[in-house]
């Protein structure tokens, strides 16, 4: 299994998102420490279409295939973040997401994220910005 990406790299990935852009790396380290590392073998399903997802994910190593039925829509590679807004809304996943080769993910569940936003109002502002941007695009 590939080695997971160090937490400082994950913090940089998260800091690049609108949601966390105003958060210090020190504070993001606390959030990353609440996340769970997941190791996947080739072909393991992360989410199936219709699954209610209460987590957001960062691909720290490897790749994931995003499919609509038998059609591959895209590949998520190292550094990709997915379900970043859906984690807040308990929305069903529209696609099947499956590992391609050995893959490592970091999963951040809804409760630690909500706790983090309660302690860091700037993160809540980032969420509002991201939602507004999504609505306007």
Fold of 7-136: Jelly Rolls (2.60.120)
pLDDT tens digits for the chain (137 residues)?
A: 544 455 557 787 778 777 777 778 888 888 888 888 899 999 999 999 999 989 999 898 999 999 999 999 999 998 888 998 788 888 899 999 999 999 999 899 999 988 988 888 887 887 788 778 777 87
- What is the pTM for the complete model shown? 0.80
Boundaries of every domain in the chain: 7-136
Residues 6+ apart with CB under 8 A from 90: 52, 53, 54, 110
Burial 82-111 (b: 16+ CB within 10 A, else e): bbbbbbbeeeebebbbbbbeebbbbbbebe
């Amino acid at each position: 299994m590939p080695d997971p990406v160090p937490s400082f790299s994950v913090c940089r990935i998260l800091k690049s998102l609108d949601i966390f852009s105003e958060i210090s790396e020190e504070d993001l380290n606390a959030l990353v420490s609440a996340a769970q590392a997941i190791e996947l073998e080739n072909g393991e399903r992360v989410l199936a279409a219709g699954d209610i997802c209460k987590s957001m994910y960062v691909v720290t190593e490897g790749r994931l295939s995003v499919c609509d039925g038998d059609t591959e829509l895209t590949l998520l590679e190292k550094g990709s973040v997915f379900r970043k807004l859906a984690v807040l809304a308990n929305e069903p996943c529209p696609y099947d997401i499956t590992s391609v080769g050995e893959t490592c993910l970091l999963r951040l569940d809804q409760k630690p994220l909500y706790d983090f936003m309660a302690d860091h109002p700037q993160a809540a502002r980032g969420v509002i910005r991201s939602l507004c941007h999504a609505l306007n695009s």
